[in-house]
């Protein structure tokens, strides 16, 4: 290898700067005796430090090549721990300093891990790397790569605002609330608070509600119509959930008590209770849907969007579906002739829906053909 007209440089790289931080040695370190002394100091300072083994491995590689008749020299360079950019710049300067001391034909890189090998392109740009010697100490290369990837993802979860608010912010909020409630002897309420916070976090993240709200607020003023209608519809829907239970308990309190005491009775009393629940909840549920669709219609109307037709059709369909749904709830309560009325209202709603969709679709097609002409 040295027949190309120069020495080989056996180079050990400590990218995170453990040699300088744990000993009084300053890089670059040049020469066999100096490398042995530096490795000994580092091993005494931290016997489990892998970089010490890499330095000894560089000395062993130097001696092995010398025995084979190769002309070579051994050296070590260090980076810094806090910044990969500063570490790479420092390593480049020190390698240039070492290469300027003699006529080297190539470099044998001694590496103790994946992180140190990331500087290969930097060294390759200064002098050809003719060989890489990998040192495995206390762990396997695959395990180290796994830890390196996990460490990067964990760092991203902590430092990236897109992820930290859920993976760090939400647990922090849970700990604060739970700690305060437990401090005042409210352990049961602390459990409820944890469930509510986790549920809200999963709900917001699962349905991208945060992005939806941000897009509404960052767009034009008519987007506030969508935001207002969405919030109002959610509030009314929650009220509808409570209203349905109140109406069910008012109409059949004995059934609610029976099912609450014995879940096996649900098959007997469940349909009736469900019917009363739907009768009590349906009006406000339909109002919440109507408010949301109306807000969407007004926003699209302000934008001049063609989706206004879709919103209008959905509002009409919502009205047509109310009677069959309400009649279905009445059917569940066991009232006579309710099944006949249910089928009749479904057929009437189906006919009205077909007529509406046909009319709107024909109007949209005629408008599209006019625009093409």
pLDDT of amino acid 142:
63
pLDDT of amino acid 33:
94
Q: Is the pLDDT of residue 37 over 90?
A: yes
pLDDT of amino acid 139:
52
pLDDT of amino acid 218:
59
Phi, psi of 134 (to 5 degrees): -100, 130
Average pLDDT of the chain, as a whole number:
81
pLDDT of amino acid 137:
57
Which has the higher per-residue pLDDT, 361 or 38? 38
Which has the higher per-residue pLDDT, 62 or 114? 62
The model's pLDDT over 267-301, given as tens digits with 9 standing for 90+, comes to 667 778 888 888 889 999 999 999 998 988 888 88
Q: Is the pLDDT of residue 57 over 80?
A: yes
SS (H, E, C) the chain: CHHHCCEEEEEEEECCCHHHHHCCCCCCEECHHHHHHHHHHHHHHCCCCHHHHHHHHHHHHHHHHHHCCCCEEEEEEECCCCCHHHHHHHHHHHHHHHHCCCCEEEEEEEECCCCHHHHHHHHHCCCCEEEEEECCCCCCHHHHHHHHHHHHHHHHHHHCHHHHHHHHHHHHHHHHHHHHHHHCCCHHHHHHHHHHHHHHHHHHHHCCHHHHHHHHHHCCCCHHHHHHHHHHHHHHHHHHHHHHHHHHHHHCHHHHHHHHHCHHHHHHHHHHHHHHHHHHHHHHHHHHHHHHHHHHHHHHHHHCCCHHHHHHHHHHHHHHHHHHHHHHHHHHCCCCCHHHHHHHHHHHHHHHHHHHHHHHHHHHHHHHHHHHC
Residues 172, 133: Cα–Cα separation, whole Å? 45
The model's pLDDT over 80-137, given as tens digits with 9 standing for 90+, comes to 877 778 888 999 999 999 999 888 999 999 887 666 667 888 898 999 999 888 876 5
For residue 185, give both structure tokens. 């002897």
pLDDT of amino acid 81:
79
**For tokens 């408010």, what's the residue?**
291
Report for 94-98, 163-167, 172-176, 214-218: range of highest mean pLDDT: 94-98
Which of 73-77, 96-100, 200-204 bottoms out in mean pLDDT, i.e. has the lowest? 200-204
- Stated pTM of the model: 0.45
Average pLDDT (310-326) is 85
Residues 104, 124: Cα–Cα separation, whole Å? 13
Q: Is the pLDDT of residue 35 over 90?
A: yes
pLDDT of amino acid 225:
79
Q: Is the pLDDT of residue 15 over 80?
A: yes
pLDDT of amino acid 227:
78
Which has the higher per-residue pLDDT, 35 or 258? 35
Phi, psi of 101 (to 5 degrees): -85, -20
Peptide bond into 28 cis (omega under 30): yes
Average pLDDT (330-353) is 80
Q: Is the dihedral of CA 81, 85, 89, 95 positive or negative?
A: positive
pLDDT of amino acid 372:
47
Assign 252 a pLDDT band (cuts: 50, 70, 90).
confident
Residues belonging to the chain: 373
**For tokens 């119509």, what's the residue?**
225
């Amino acid at each position: 290898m040295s027949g190309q007209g120069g020495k080989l440089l056996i180079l050990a790289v400590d990218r995170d700067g453990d040699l300088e931080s744990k000993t009084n040695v300053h890089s670059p370190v040049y020469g066999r005796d100096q490398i042995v002394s530096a490795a000994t100091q580092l091993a005494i300072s931290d016997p489990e430090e892998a970089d010490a083994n890499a330095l000894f491995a560089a000395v062993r590689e130097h001696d092995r090549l010398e025995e084979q008749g190769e002309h070579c020299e051994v050296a070590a360079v260090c980076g810094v721990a806090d910044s990969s950019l500063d570490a790479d710049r420092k390593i480049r300067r020190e390698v240039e300093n070492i290469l300027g001391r003699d006529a080297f034909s190539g470099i044998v890189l001694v590496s103790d891990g994946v992180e140190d090998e990331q500087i290969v392109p930097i060294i390759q740009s200064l002098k050809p790397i003719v060989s890489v010697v990998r040192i495995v100490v206390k762990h396997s290369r695959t395990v180290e790569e796994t830890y390196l990837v996990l460490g990067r993802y964990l760092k991203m979860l902590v430092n990236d605002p897109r992820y930290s608010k859920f993976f760090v912010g939400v647990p922090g909020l849970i700990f604060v609330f739970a700690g305060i409630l437990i401090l005042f002897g409210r352990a049961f309420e602390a459990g409820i608070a944890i469930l509510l916070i986790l549920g809200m976090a999963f709900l917001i993240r699962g349905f991208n509600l945060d992005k939806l709200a941000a897009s509404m607020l960052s767009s034009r003023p008519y987007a506030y119509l969508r935001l207002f209608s969405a919030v109002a519809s959610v509030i009314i829907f929650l009220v509808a959930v409570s209203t349905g239970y109140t109406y069910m308990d008012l109409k059949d309190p004995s059934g609610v008590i029976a099912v609450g005491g014995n879940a096996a009775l649900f098959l007997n009393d469940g349909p009736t209770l469900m019917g009363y629940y739907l009768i009590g909840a349906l009006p406000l549920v339909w109002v919440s849907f109507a408010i949301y669709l109306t807000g969407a219609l007004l926003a699209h109307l302000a934008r001049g969007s063609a989706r206004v037709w879709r919103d209008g059709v959905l509002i009409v369909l919502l009205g047509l579906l109310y009677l069959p749904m309400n009649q279905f709830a009445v059917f569940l309560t066991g009232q006579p002739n309710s099944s006949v009325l249910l089928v009749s209202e479904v057929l009437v709603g189906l006919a009205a829906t077909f007529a509406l969709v046909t009319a709107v679709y024909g109007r949209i097609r005629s408008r599209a053909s006019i625009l093409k002409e």
